[in-house]
Amino acid sequence: MQLKVEIDPGSGFCYGVIRAVEKAELRLKREKQLFSLGAIVHNNSELDRLRKIGLEVIDLERMRNLKDTTVLIRAHGEPPEIYRIARQRNIELIDCTCPVVLKLQEKIRTTYRQYCTGEGKGQIVIFGKTGHAEVNGLIGQVNSDAVIVDTTVPEKGEKADFTGLDELDFTRPIYLFSQTTKDPDEYGRIGNIIQERIRLHGSNPENLVIHNTICRQVAQRHENLTEFAKKHSILLFVSGKESSNGKVLYELCKSVNRRSYHIQTTAQIRPEWFHEEDLVGICGATSTPKWQLEGVAAYLETLSRQPINFQ
Q: Tens-of-pLDDT digits for all 311 residues of the chain?
A: 578 999 999 999 999 999 999 999 999 999 999 999 999 998 999 999 999 999 999 999 999 999 999 999 999 999 999 999 999 999 999 999 999 999 999 999 999 999 998 777 999 999 999 999 999 999 999 999 999 999 876 555 556 678 999 999 999 999 999 999 998 999 999 999 999 999 999 999 899 999 999 999 888 899 999 999 999 999 999 998 888 889 889 999 999 999 999 999 999 999 899 988 899 999 999 999 999 999 999 999 888 776 655 44
Range list of β-strands (E), the chain:
4-7, 34-37, 55-58, 70-73, 92-95, 123-127, 147-151, 162-163, 174-178, 208-210, 234-238, 260-263, 279-284
pLDDT reported for residue 117: 87
Other residues' Cβ atoms within 10 Å of the Cβ of residue 101:
23
Query: What are the residues whose beta carbons fall under 8 Å from the beta carbon of 213, sequence distance 6 or more?
Result: 104, 107, 177, 178, 180
Return the closest-CA partner of residue 253 out of 292, 223, 273, 277.
223
* Cα-based distances in Å from 52 to 11, 32, 33, 236, 284: 25, 10, 10, 27, 23
Task: Give SS3 for 77.
Answer: coil
Return the closest-CA partner of residue 19 out of 102, 97, 91, 100.
97
Longest distance between any two alpha carbons in the chain, whole Å:
74
Q: What domains are defined for the chain?
A: 4-12+217-304 (3.40.1010.20), 15-98 (3.40.50.11270), 100-214 (3.40.1010.20)
pLDDT reported for residue 307: 61
Q: What CA–CA distance (Å, rounded) separates 47 from 38? A: 11
C-beta of residue 175 within 8 angstroms of C-beta of residue 115: yes
- φ and ψ at 266, to 5 degrees? -65, -20
pLDDT reported for residue 158: 58
Beta bridge partners of 31: none
Return the closest-CA partner of residue 79 out of 37, 151, 134, 122.
134
C-beta of residue 125 within 8 angstroms of C-beta of residue 174: yes
C-beta of residue 222 within 8 angstroms of C-beta of residue 283: no
Active-site amino acid positions: 134
Q: What CA–CA distance (Å, rounded) separates 43 from 220? A: 22
Task: Give SS3 for 43.
Answer: coil
Q: Give the DSSP H or E segment for 85.
A: helix 80-88
C-beta of residue 13 within 8 angstroms of C-beta of residue 41: yes
pLDDT reported for residue 162: 86
Threshold 0.75, pTM exceeds: yes
C-beta of residue 135 within 8 angstroms of C-beta of residue 148: yes
Q: What CA–CA distance (Å, rounded) separates 245 from 112? A: 27
